[in-house]
Amino acid sequence: MRLIDRYRAVRARTVALAAPLSPEDQMVQSMPDASPTKWHLAHTTWFFETFVLAPAVPDHPPADAGYGFLFNSYYEGVGRRIERGRRGQLSRPSLAEVHAYRRQVDDAVEDWLASERGDSRDRAGLATLVLGLHHEQQHQELLLTDVKHGLGLQPGRPAYRADVPNATLTAAPQRQAAAGPTRFRAFEEGIVSIGHDGGGFAFDNEGPRHRAFLQAFELSERPVTCREYLAFMKDDGYARAELWLSEGWRHVQLEGWRAPLYWERRDGEWMTYTLDGLRPVGLDEPVAHVSHFEADAFARWAGARLPTEQEWERAAADGPVTGHFADSDRFHPGSATSGMFGDVWQWTASAYGPYPGFRAPAGALGEYNGKFMSSQMVLRGGSCLTPAGHLRATYRNFFPPEARWQMSGIRLARDA
Amino acid sequence: MRLIDRYRAVRARTVALAAPLSPEDQMVQSMPDASPTKWHLAHTTWFFETFVLAPAVPDHPPADAGYGFLFNSYYEGVGRRIERGRRGQLSRPSLAEVHAYRRQVDDAVEDWLASERGDSRDRAGLATLVLGLHHEQQHQELLLTDVKHGLGLQPGRPAYRADVPNATLTAAPQRQAAAGPTRFRAFEEGIVSIGHDGGGFAFDNEGPRHRAFLQAFELSERPVTCREYLAFMKDDGYARAELWLSEGWRHVQLEGWRAPLYWERRDGEWMTYTLDGLRPVGLDEPVAHVSHFEADAFARWAGARLPTEQEWERAAADGPVTGHFADSDRFHPGSATSGMFGDVWQWTASAYGPYPGFRAPAGALGEYNGKFMSSQMVLRGGSCLTPAGHLRATYRNFFPPEARWQMSGIRLARDA
Amino acid sequence: MRLIDRYRAVRARTVALAAPLSPEDQMVQSMPDASPTKWHLAHTTWFFETFVLAPAVPDHPPADAGYGFLFNSYYEGVGRRIERGRRGQLSRPSLAEVHAYRRQVDDAVEDWLASERGDSRDRAGLATLVLGLHHEQQHQELLLTDVKHGLGLQPGRPAYRADVPNATLTAAPQRQAAAGPTRFRAFEEGIVSIGHDGGGFAFDNEGPRHRAFLQAFELSERPVTCREYLAFMKDDGYARAELWLSEGWRHVQLEGWRAPLYWERRDGEWMTYTLDGLRPVGLDEPVAHVSHFEADAFARWAGARLPTEQEWERAAADGPVTGHFADSDRFHPGSATSGMFGDVWQWTASAYGPYPGFRAPAGALGEYNGKFMSSQMVLRGGSCLTPAGHLRATYRNFFPPEARWQMSGIRLARDA
Amino acid sequence: MRLIDRYRAVRARTVALAAPLSPEDQMVQSMPDASPTKWHLAHTTWFFETFVLAPAVPDHPPADAGYGFLFNSYYEGVGRRIERGRRGQLSRPSLAEVHAYRRQVDDAVEDWLASERGDSRDRAGLATLVLGLHHEQQHQELLLTDVKHGLGLQPGRPAYRADVPNATLTAAPQRQAAAGPTRFRAFEEGIVSIGHDGGGFAFDNEGPRHRAFLQAFELSERPVTCREYLAFMKDDGYARAELWLSEGWRHVQLEGWRAPLYWERRDGEWMTYTLDGLRPVGLDEPVAHVSHFEADAFARWAGARLPTEQEWERAAADGPVTGHFADSDRFHPGSATSGMFGDVWQWTASAYGPYPGFRAPAGALGEYNGKFMSSQMVLRGGSCLTPAGHLRATYRNFFPPEARWQMSGIRLARDA
């Protein structure tokens, strides 16, 4: 696909994802970690304006002198910005003005693309444009998780969209295929190559490619299902300190965790909020919206453990990147099936850190990934909310271990 | 005016006050103390539905079974309700649905008014209807103070309305009449009658009428102006602990108070945010948006003190209830003039408590005023945001001493 | 008594009150509001050094240049001081050094007293010395309430002293005299004089004496007993929102109040921690360690109300200042008896504020009382922890309405 | 050494370390993370009583039924315990009683050691006894860091002991040997064995021994000195966001970090608090009391990085465990010298996690290390506060990345 077409497609997809929501819906910020839809629409645009247009088209005027303060997420190198938890208090610019902002930047980007002559400045700009597309895809997933949080905590549990695609209806829990028993695939010990080899796009944190030694291990062929997680719950999993990391146990106590996020009991049945509203928990679906601490406690209870990110990558390296991604428009996991990708991100046992030889790029874009390499855990595999084509076997997602609002689940490993 | 016409007029005024705002603007909640416009629209409606319609028309179905949880403000006797600070996270019901809710309840109220036969149940309902109208007028003022806070803290300092009434323009600071020097009116010592005598409407907390003995005192004929307040600021008023109550000094330190709320210095000039946007501080206007602590410190600096609410009421009792109220549609104080009412609420030295013989009414409506009689201070006089006709000389407003987002100013008193 | 003898007696009493405690006990700070015994010993000494010796004997060197920072409580005019909640982290100076500090200051005070010639500087010094003695008596009571809090929250509930005076033993609950039924004394309406008339010592906040008009009222002849308070508890007093001020109800919820402070249920019986250890609640004793909010809720439940401080003073003005004070060395209320003074402080309905004409003295000592006149409630009458001779009918104690660690109880009033 | 002699020596050393401190000093708790000396004395004793005596001598009565609640640190499997931040509020048991507790348990342990017959229960008990000795050594270091924090934050900056050993005096900064330039030692890439091989004592988290692949790297032969750290400070190291992890930058802002903990500027000179009081910063000493975030920012500024724990262990594996440990009784780093051990712990780039194949032991002792494997960073090498003989090349210490009160410093690594 030509770059201009990719640009248009990615930008249009973000707009399409926001379309079912009213301007009011798009302003909701349910917690500081989550951002309003409108903010996602504007921030991704600011990214192109700041990092692509400003250097490539120096006489391009910024759309609005105040937008940098509002829509800069965390780039210290670019200037001050509004306190994160106040993003939801911004009624101005309006959604209509944000859409105008998008169009204005899109026009300028397209003009530049039509006129670029391939010199070194343009080549740098093109590389950043590609980064911006991957960045926008990441925000497409965040947009959905943040919308889910914003709507799911409203008393009426409203659905994200009025018309639910057929695929979702046929995936209703009672008609789901039963997930088979957990089978483990065995891997020999040995030296493996980890990280991206530099061919095609990858984020900086995926490299440099390097060698690692892995002991022999086994990895489950599918993620943990809700049925299995319910067995943990019924076995008092949330009440037995010995199953938990100390920090996780503190969260259980302080926040009263008794089930995954979005689960609630109605008339004796476990229901879960989905982007299409409240419905019964699908027993054969991968469990989602668990924290690293819950994943870790479940694994301990199950006599297993979480895989390291190297183990996960070893297993994923030799297969295709296929699975249930967001192009299904279903936005909820289906029945658990074999495969490394899709449905739910999988918490690993690996703290998020730099690979050997990693050096963040110079400049503000060096803040993209590197400065977050503390107190977070790596997740792998993508989810039903991840744009198709966005993932790679080397892709490293990361969130704090207590985070639950992402589409995060569990894959088990064990020593061979 | 017939009751039905008053009802229509008050209800229409609330809608008119909200009209300049987009649905997004009407969702802003800038702090837990402030509520979104949409919530004010819905809560005042819920009040009529719950306290008038439900008892008077027992077969009237509630508009929505979930609205009680969302729109009950603080009535423990009526049931549980959403955490106050989360009102701004509610995108559903939409503004359009809230307007439909208003119309539905208005229709039912009008039907009932048309059909009521004047029996005892109806008489009780009518009394509560009148209470509901005064309640809605209170929320009209809160709506404006909350909008001001919500817009005034947004980086662009947007104006509340596009078309500014002429009155505001002619009141631009540079053309304001100069406020004369402060003159004090003297009052003899003696027994005075305080509180409402029961003729016409009054809130429960204004009675019973009772006697109090006042020492001789003097009261300023006009509120303190910005010019006078700037002199306090230039004299290091915010840096001299000896001028402040201990609790106030703590706020100065923790929150960095250096000027009234909404004041900011731009290019060496003091500007203030108004509902019509940022403009230079009007030197002859009453200072507004100060806390009780600032009012008290200013008075001490000026060699005076704040009046008690009894002193204030004594001075106001024998004059007309005239002044600059919200019917001007200017929503900002004009040049300070003699008179007890309008422009700015005036902090008194009186803690908000029950009058001798006060007993809160039975039932949930007994929670209206009585349960807040701790840790708050009384304000008197109404402001340019208060609906005309809403005030009385016996009217008691109350806020915590650190509150600054109300249209609150200062009137000085001194011992004779 | 000669002033020098009063000085010695008061100073010795403080030392005696601390004597049963080990150096470790004297370092405990159980919450920021409470201070270690050692700190009380040092602060009262610093008060004499700073406010008496420094002005009266200008060449007197401070005992230690660092003590001002450590032992200044809240006087902004005298300089910076250690954060209140860190007082319990000071192991240095040691208790022995603090005692040496006391002796050093005592010696200097006595030298000065022996040499003073009655000039104006000396007269000011003598007045401050007397203030210092009353100040130290206040800290004697605080020392006991703070010790009680510090020991009472330790798991073993240790007693303050090994040898319990006989008086305490004979007052054991099972042998207490039964408190008679509550009788109310009636007072006519009229103008009364309130506040201290300037004869003899009084704190600044007790004046000026002034007139006030009181409606007719009735006042209980004795404080509320534990038996009566238990009836409130059994009638779900802590679970009925309609009995509580809104701010009080919040405390009930957040802090889980279900009984007065120090009450705990063991084997089905209500016990209470006293300075002599845990013992059964004495049913005929005045209830103690309740907040203003609990006192107010109890009064509402009982169909009564709390008295204003003017009503209380009116009732106390014409009687002797007799009752159960700390000279009994019993440190726990006895069986409730008629009288206005002793056993427990009585919460009033009055917020703590300035009397008409009040003006705080100039200088740092002006911070003694005046700057605390916000968000606190007045208590009257003294307690079994108050030094005998310290009280007056005009005496105004004050604490925040949520405070429970003082020896605070309830006296009921009602409208006539 | 016989086990009984080792037991006596370790136990006596703890008592000796506490000896310079008064009972008051031993009660100080300056923050929740730090514990009073008295608590360390008691907790280490409780460890032997609970985990050695109780299983080995079933009829041994606990010294005090309440001590478990007070002196259990974090073992959920053993029962509830006092809130960590309240340890400093315990004046009872007194220090004398804690010493009696120590003697009572020591007597029982010695009796048991004298009588044990080498059966399986005894063998398990002996293994736990050895664990208890290593545990007590860890608390010896914590005792010193906690004392330093408790005294170092007191205004007088008092010294820990009156008589300073000669060694400290001769190490006064002005006479220190100059640290040479930083030299790096190079290591080839390859597979290394990491972790303890099971011979002799090691903590559970040091195993199992396993293989890892390391890229080629270089490691500094000595830790970073204060001179070097000052250059970072002078180069605005604390003001340049681009040098910091995002989470570290937040700490810099919120806590106002501008220098290592305990550094303060007096008369233009950098001083540092040591256990012997305040003295000028020793330029050639290893910098200490820096957080992981400061270590990481320094390394980035220096064009280097922190080593992984595997790299560190590789470099330490082939040398002797020698260096400046606590047996010097100097308790402050000396001039920086080559070597992997002693003076200061060295932050690594490795998050604290389980080694491949790690499984925590069953029972409460399984909580010793495993449950803390989240959100902490590994430190290696021991310090001048670590008991001699306590360290190993495989030893893993761990603290949260923001911790500064440990004797923590920096060793640089870089890619080859």
Indicate the residue of A76, A213, A367 with minimum beta-carbon distance to D211: A213
Residues D401, A375: C-beta atoms closer than 8 Å:
yes
A87's CB contacts (< 8 A; 6+ apart) are A29, A35, A36, A39
Q: What is the per-residue pLDDT for B60?
A: 87
Q: Is the pLDDT of residue D105 over 80?
A: yes
Q: Is the pLDDT of residue A169 over 60?
A: no
Indicate the residue of A189, A244, A401 with minimum beta-carbon distance to D375: A401
Which residues does chain A have within 8 Å of residue D210's beta carbon, measured at their own beta carbons?
Answer: 215
Residues D215, A191: C-beta atoms closer than 8 Å:
no
Asked if residue B399 and residue B319 are part of one domain, the reply reads yes
Chain A residues in contact with chain D using a Cβ-Cβ cutoff of 8 Å: 74, 76-77, 189, 191, 210-213, 215, 217, 241-242, 244-249, 292-293, 305, 349-351, 353-354, 356-357, 366-367, 371-375, 401, 415
In a domain, B167, yes or no: no
pLDDT band of D164, cuts 50, 70, 90: low
Residues A66, B155: C-beta atoms closer than 8 Å:
yes
Give the pLDDT mean for C205-230: 98
Chain C residues in contact with chain B using a Cβ-Cβ cutoff of 8 Å: 74, 76-77, 189, 191, 210-213, 215, 217, 241-242, 244-249, 292-293, 305, 349-351, 353-354, 356-357, 366-367, 371-375, 401, 415
pLDDT band of C167, cuts 50, 70, 90: very low
Q: What is the per-residue pLDDT for D398?
A: 98
pLDDT digits (tens, 9 = 90+) for B23-43: 999 999 999 999 999 999 999
Q: What is the per-residue pLDDT for B164?
A: 67
- The residues pairing with D342 across neighbouring beta strands, listed in sequence order, are D324
Q: What is the per-residue pLDDT for A288?
A: 98
Q: Is the pLDDT of residue B179 over 90?
A: no
Asked if residue B189 and residue B147 are part of one domain, the reply reads no
pLDDT digits (tens, 9 = 90+) for B110-166: 999 999 887 888 899 999 999 999 999 999 999 999 999 999 989 889 999 987 665
How many other CB atoms are found less than 10 A from the CB of residue B318? Answer: 8
Which residues does chain C have within 8 Å of residue B187's beta carbon, measured at their own beta carbons?
Answer: none
Asked if residue A226 and residue A123 are part of one domain, the reply reads no
Indicate the residue of B24, B66, B154 with minimum beta-carbon distance to A155: B66
Residues B191, C212: C-beta atoms closer than 8 Å:
no
Distance CA D66, CA D88 (A): 17
CA distance B365 to chain C (A): 11
pLDDT band of A171, cuts 50, 70, 90: very low
Q: What is the per-residue pLDDT for A163?
A: 74
Contact D320, D389 (CB under 8 A): no
Asked if residue C226 and residue C133 are part of one domain, the reply reads no
Contact D290, D404 (CB under 8 A): yes
Distance CA B71, CA B46 (A): 6
Q: What is the per-residue pLDDT for D162?
A: 81
Indicate the residue of D74, D191, D242 with minimum beta-carbon distance to A246: D74
Contact D340, D316 (CB under 8 A): yes
Residues A373, D215: C-beta atoms closer than 8 Å:
no
pLDDT band of A177, cuts 50, 70, 90: low
Helix (H) or strand (E) holding B280: strand B277-280
Indicate the residue of C215, C351, C371 with minimum beta-carbon distance to B353: C351
Residues A356, D292: C-beta atoms closer than 8 Å:
no
Indicate if the alpha-carbon torsion angle C193, C197, C202, C204 is positive or negative: positive
In a domain, A314, yes or no: yes
Residues D155, C91: C-beta atoms closer than 8 Å:
no
pLDDT digits (tens, 9 = 90+) for D134-156: 999 999 999 999 999 999 989 88
How many other CB atoms are found less than 10 A from the CB of residue C345? Answer: 27
Asked if residue D191 and residue D52 are part of one domain, the reply reads no
Give the pLDDT mean for D341-355: 98
Kindly report the average pLDDT of chain C as a whole number: 94
Which residues does chain A have within 8 Å of residue D217's beta carbon, measured at their own beta carbons?
Answer: 356
Distance CA C355, CA C396 (A): 11
Residues C150, D91: C-beta atoms closer than 8 Å:
yes
Q: Is the pLDDT of residue C171 over 60?
A: no
In a domain, C159, yes or no: no
Q: Domain holding C70: CATH number?
A: 1.20.120
**Neighbors of chain C with 3 or more C-beta pairs under 8 Å:** B, D
Q: What is the per-residue pLDDT for C22?
A: 97
Asked if residue D79 and residue D10 are part of one domain, the reply reads yes
Q: What is the per-residue pLDDT for C182?
A: 86
In a domain, B237, yes or no: yes
Distance CA B52, CA A237 (A): 50
Concatenating the DSSP letter of every residue in A250-281 gives: HHHHHHT--SSTTEEEETTEEEEEETTEEEE-
Distance CA C136, CA C8 (A): 12
pLDDT digits (tens, 9 = 90+) for A261-311: 999 999 999 999 999 999 999 999 999 999 999 999 999 999 999 999 999
DSSP class of residue C244 equals S
Q: Is the pLDDT of residue B106 over 60?
A: yes
Give the pLDDT mean for C271-278: 97
CA distance D240 to chain A (A): 9
Distance CA A347, CA A381 (A): 9
Distance CA A270, CA A284 (A): 14
Q: Is the pLDDT of residue D171 over 80?
A: no
CA distance C91 to chain D (A): 5
Indicate the residue of D215, D247, D374 with minimum beta-carbon distance to A357: D215
Give the pLDDT mean for C177-195: 91
Q: What is the per-residue pLDDT for B171?
A: 47
Nearest Cα neighbor of C71 from D52, C51, C55 is C51
Interface C-D, measured as beta-carbon pairs within 8 A, has a size of 72
Instruction: Give me the torsion for CA of C351, C356, C357, C359, rounded to 10°.
Output: 0
pLDDT band of D167, cuts 50, 70, 90: very low
Q: Is the pLDDT of residue D262 over 80?
A: yes
Contact B128, B49 (CB under 8 A): no
Residues C356, B215: C-beta atoms closer than 8 Å:
yes
Q: Print the SS3 string covering C94-154.
A: CHHHHHHHHHHHHHHHHHHHHHCCCCHHHHHHHHHHHHHHHHHHHHHHHHHHHHHHHHHCC
pLDDT digits (tens, 9 = 90+) for C306-363: 999 999 999 999 899 999 999 999 999 999 999 999 999 999 999 999 999 999 999 9
Q: What is the per-residue pLDDT for A162?
A: 81
Q: Is the pLDDT of residue D173 over 60?
A: no
3-state secondary structure of B414: strand
Higher pLDDT, B168 or A17: A17
Concatenating the DSSP letter of every residue in D325-343 gives: -GGGS--S--S--SSSEES
Lowest mean pLDDT among B94-98, C181-185, D310-314, D412-416: C181-185
Q: What is the per-residue pLDDT for A261?
A: 98
Chain A interface disruption, residue of B154, B160, B405, most A CBs within 10 A? B154
Distance CA D290, CA D251 (A): 12
Give the pLDDT mean for D261-269: 96
Where is the domain boundary, A152, A173, A195? A152
Percent of chain C at pLDDT exceeding 70: 97
pLDDT band of D175, cuts 50, 70, 90: low
Give the pLDDT mean for A58-85: 93
Residues B245, C350: C-beta atoms closer than 8 Å:
no
Asked if residue A220 and residue A369 are part of one domain, the reply reads yes
Which residues does chain C have within 8 Å of residue D69's beta carbon, measured at their own beta carbons?
Answer: 155
3-state secondary structure of B348: strand
Q: What is the per-residue pLDDT for A410?
A: 98
C136's CB contacts (< 8 A; 6+ apart) are C10, C11, C14, C44, C47
Q: Domain holding B327: CATH number?
A: 3.90.1580.10
Q: What is the per-residue pLDDT for B177?
A: 66
Distance CA A53, CA A50 (A): 6
Q: What is the per-residue pLDDT for C160?
A: 96
pLDDT digits (tens, 9 = 90+) for C323-332: 999 999 999 9
Distance CA D415, CA D304 (A): 8
Look up tokens 């104690």; give the residue.
C397
CA nearest A87 in B: which residue? B154
Residues C77, B242: C-beta atoms closer than 8 Å:
yes
Chain C interface disruption, residue of B83, B242, B376, B402, most C CBs within 10 A? B242
CA distance C347 to chain B (A): 13
Residues C151, D92: C-beta atoms closer than 8 Å:
yes
Give the pLDDT mean for C165-177: 51
In a domain, C158, yes or no: no
Interface A-D, measured as beta-carbon pairs within 8 A, has a size of 89
In a domain, A293, yes or no: yes
Chain D interface disruption, residue of A83, A371, A372, most D CBs within 10 A? A371
Which residues does chain B have within 8 Å of residue A82's beta carbon, measured at their own beta carbons?
Answer: 155
Indicate the residue of A74, A249, A401 with minimum beta-carbon distance to D246: A74
Asked if residue D77 and residue D28 are part of one domain, the reply reads yes
Concatenating the DSSP letter of every residue in C298-309 gives: HHHHTT-BPPPH
CA nearest B76 in C: which residue? C241
Q: Are strands D217-220 and D413-415 parallel, antiparallel or unpaired?
A: antiparallel
**D–B touching, 3+ CB–CB pairs within 8 Å:** no
Asked if residue A232 and residue A354 are part of one domain, the reply reads yes
Q: Is the pLDDT of residue C405 over 70?
A: yes
Where is the domain boundary, A152, A170, A196? A152
Contact C294, C260 (CB under 8 A): yes
Q: Is the pLDDT of residue B256 over 80?
A: yes
Residues D374, A247: C-beta atoms closer than 8 Å:
yes
In a domain, D89, yes or no: yes
Instruction: Give me the torsion for CA of B114, B115, B117, B120, rounded to 10°.
Output: -90
Q: What is the per-residue pLDDT for D165?
A: 60
CA distance D364 to chain A (A): 8
Q: Is the pLDDT of residue B170 over 50?
A: no
pLDDT digits (tens, 9 = 90+) for A183-205: 999 999 999 999 999 899 999 99
pLDDT digits (tens, 9 = 90+) for B351-395: 999 999 999 999 999 999 999 999 999 999 999 999 999 999 999
pLDDT digits (tens, 9 = 90+) for C44-78: 999 999 999 999 998 888 999 999 999 999 999 99
Residues D349, A350: C-beta atoms closer than 8 Å:
no
Percent of chain B at pLDDT exceeding 90: 90
Chain D interface disruption, residue of C21, C22, C24, most D CBs within 10 A? C24
Residues C153, D89: C-beta atoms closer than 8 Å:
yes
Contact A405, A399 (CB under 8 A): no
CA nearest C158 in D: which residue? D92
Which residues does chain C have within 8 Å of residue D70's beta carbon, measured at their own beta carbons?
Answer: 155
Q: What is the per-residue pLDDT for B173?
A: 52
Lowest mean pLDDT among A266-270, B25-29, B281-285, C116-120: C116-120
Asked if residue C67 and residue C23 are part of one domain, the reply reads yes
Q: Give the structural domain span for B266.
A: 184-415
Look up tokens 């979005």; give the residue.
A262
Concatenating the DSSP letter of every residue in C23-47 gives: TTGGG---STTS--HHHHHHHHHHH
In a domain, D162, yes or no: no
Give the pLDDT mean for D34-54: 98
Where is the domain boundary, B152, B171, B197? B152
Kindly report the average pLDDT of chain B as a whole number: 94
**Number of domains comprising chain C:** 2
User: How long, in residues, is chain A?
Assistant: 416
Contact B348, B381 (CB under 8 A): no
A234's CB contacts (< 8 A; 6+ apart) are none
CA distance B213 to chain C (A): 5
CA nearest A65 in B: which residue? B156
Lowest mean pLDDT among A316-325, C131-140, D165-174: D165-174
Contact D33, D85 (CB under 8 A): no
Asked if residue A229 and residue A135 are part of one domain, the reply reads no
Distance CA C27, CA C7 (A): 25
Asked if residue A401 and residue A296 are part of one domain, the reply reads yes
Angle at A148 between CA B92 and CA A15, to 5 degrees: 85
Angle at B346 between CA B341 and CA B350, to 5 degrees: 125
